[in-house]
Amino acid sequence: MLQIENEYGSVLCDHAYTVWLRDIVREQLGNDVVLYTTDGFNENMVRCGSVPGTFPTVDFGAPQTIDSASKKFQVQRRFSGGGPNVNSEFYTTWFSMWGDRSVPRQDIKNVVDSIEAMWQLNASFSFYMIHGGTNFGFWNGREPDGPVITSYDYAAPISEEGQITPLYRAIRNWIGSKQEWPNTPLPLPPNRTGIAINGITALRLPNFIKLLNSTHTEQQCIHSNGARPLNFEVFDRDHAFVWYSTVLQIGGSVLTIPVVKDHAYIFVDGKFKGNITVCDRTGCSQRVTINALAGQRLDILVENAGRLTYPLSKVDPKGILSPVILGGISVSNYWTQCGVSIDALYTAGSLLFEEAYLEQQLLKGSSSIEPPQPAYDEPAIYAAKFTTPDIDWRLAHTFFDSRGWGHGIAMVNGFNIGRYWPLLGPQMTLFVPGAVMKNENFVLILELTGRQKSKSLQFDFLAQPLYNGEGERQFQNDQPMVDREDVSEDDEIVRNPVPSGYLRKYQQALAHTRRNRHQSEEHESDEAGVREKRMDFFSHF
């Protein structure tokens, strides 16, 4: 089976386009492949999303009764020509966004009752998601009112890190209760081992702006002279960051950028002055006081916090999208725009760390030398090196604990594990697959807003994920911590593992600031509300 588009009827109704897609697939794959479409259970959605010569299906989630599920399948049957009832995206819960109070958790009984209802209706269904995922790197996406978190765990039966959950067990037991089911469930595999490592010491790297500028050459930058700088798309920057630079021809106190997507970090002659953000659930700031003089250099680091995933009909340019105004006057200057390469930043940061770390070790005990202090109110780059015991990381995983940090991205051994934002939540940890870890590890952290005050430069890796308002999830077995005798003897690198050797529930996450609960948008259909969405990919089994 192969799907044509995804919930296309929620956005447009261009059958010429969808027929064109159908014909391309038929030409490439022949007539032996079953083609189908997926749309919400609203009649207009199915009408616009279905394609002649393909099988239309619907999608909806729990909770459902036999009556409510039957009504949804009735919409499908009006277009299916007597075909079977199919829910091609039975979603167990929903994704989360930065600023949510907590991650959605579906009642297990609701899920089991819903699949029983569909079973009684002789329906076929596919779980979305059956296995949770991760928006590594810059692939988190956003909705109109804000960005999606890094985790795409989705409270799935198999968790983001591949663990068997209570929901999985409940579904397995339900299958086992069906005498007419042709195959009995296979034995459960053991859950993978989560590894926790405590007390890793980070080093703040010097020369933040110099480090960022080292990520590109002059030939890789674009120069312009106009009413406003160039947006990302003009020079093929789809994600990450762009560095804008100009020499001011005028002075002024207040800098204003009416339209920026998504976050702008402002520097004058290398000194951080504040940030300007798009107005969404994460905050809103369009001006900052810089007290700049003519002749000074203005640098603006702009972060793309995620591409719009829905609705598809909206254009979503990124960068500085309006004139930059200083003291009420437009800064119509000669601008230089440079893409920031995260891979190059990692390489430059690792080299600088080796120099800084060696210098710190050589100068230990010198009263005249003080190590760089945490940047509580400004962007900075931090790095750390640590060793782990002889762990078979193919059978293990861990989670970067972002509590104590502000907002930014983290890289482990050159792999971008995604964005963190513990001040907003609900996600407090970032999943690190075992394939990323080594016996000797290097972490680079691009901190964009400054570390939280009163927090030291130590951070941890946890054995289990942590979300706001929840303890670490417990699965079928308690997972071991790193034992004291297994860690490096260098207490500057790895120290203070939990003495008990077993997981304990961590304290609840930090209190949120600037938080406002937003529910997923619901759109009324003929008989029930329809939750419209666009997903990155479709799981079918």
Q: 77 Cβ partners below 8 Å, 6+ apart?
A: 83, 85
CB atoms within 10 A of CB 299: 21
Cβ 117 vs Cβ 533: under 8 Å: no
The three-class DSSP label of residue 257 is coil
Return d(Cα 450, Cα 275) in angstroms, integer: 11
Which residue from 281, 194, 207, 209 is spatially nearest to 241, judged by alpha carbons?
209
Query: Residue 351: what are its φ and ψ, rounded to 5°?
Result: -65, -45
Q: Catalytic: which of 5, 27, 43, 89? A: 89
CB contact at 8 A, 100 and 282: no
The DSSP call for residue 502 is: B
CA 154 – CA 103 distance, rounded (Å): 8
Task: Compute the CA torsion angle 165, 168, 173, 178 (nearest 10 deg).
Answer: 180
Give me the sign of the Cα torsion angle 518, 524, 528, 534: negative
7, 143, 470, 472: the active-site residue? 7
Q: Which residues contact 78 (CB under 8 A, 6 or more apart)?
A: 43, 46
User: 200 CB contacts (<8 Å, ≥6 apart)?
Assistant: 384, 386, 443, 458, 459, 460, 461, 493, 494
- CA–chain centroid gap for 296, Å, is 36
Residues 289 and 266: their CA atoms lie apart, in Å, by: 10
The CA distance from 215 to 454, in Å, is: 32
Distance (Å, whole) CA 125 – CA 127? 7
Greatest alpha-carbon span in the chain: 83
Q: Is 89 a catalytic residue?
A: yes
Query: Would you give the DSSP letter of residue 395?
Result: G
Q: Quick check: bond before 104 cis, omega within 30? A: no
> How many angstroms separate the CA atoms of 428 and 460, rounded?
12
Please report, for residues 271, 466, 472, 477, the alpha-carbon distance to residue 508 in angstroms, rounded to integers and kept in the order given. 36, 9, 9, 21
Secondary structure (H, E, C), 91-148: ECCCCCECCCCCCCCCCHHHHHHHHHHHHHCCCEEEEECCECEECCCCCCCEECCEEE
Q: Dihedrals φ, ψ of 164, to 5°?
A: -75, 125
DSSP string of 402-462? -BTB-SEEEEETTEEEEEE-TTT-SB-EEEEEGGG--SEEEEEEEESS-PPTT--SEEEEE
Q: Which residues are catalytic?
A: 7, 89
